[in-house]
Amino acid sequence: MAIMKKLFLSLIFCLLIFNWTELNFVYANKSVEIRNVLELKRQGWEVLEKQSEVESRPGLKPYQNLKREIHIVKYRLRKGKEFVFCLVEYDSQLDTIREACDVSQENAERRIAQ
């Protein structure tokens, strides 16, 4: 029983170290890690444009006969000579907010569609 406990603790320790180093490695390889509008604004990015629209889409099962509204806000931000586009979508049926930012609006739209 004591051997199993030591083995289990060693395994957990190794997994924690692996996860920590892997996360640092992933972030180090991404030269531009773009997260969300709030974080970008806190980092000194300036909102140049903000457009809001509402799309009506068919509801998801079992409410497919109802319309659901998707509130979409498009942002264009600038910091120095760099520009970033962000999309924020709120789905009324799922009550979820999805957000994607990238260096181009097309890339941000692809990321939010995933």
How far apart (Å, rounded) are the C-alpha atoms in residues 21 and 113? Answer: 30
Q: What is the pTM of this model?
A: 0.66
Is pLDDT of 114 > 90? no
Read off the pLDDT band of 1 (50, 70, 90): low
List beta partners, residue 96.
Answer: 91
Q: What pLDDT digit, counting tens, does each position of 24-48 carry?
A: 444 444 445 567 999 999 999 999 9
Question: What kind and span of H or E run contains 79?
Answer: strand 67-79
Residue 8 is predicted with a pLDDT of: 57
Read off the pLDDT band of 11 (50, 70, 90): low
**Domain chopping of the chain, boundaries:** 1-31, 34-113
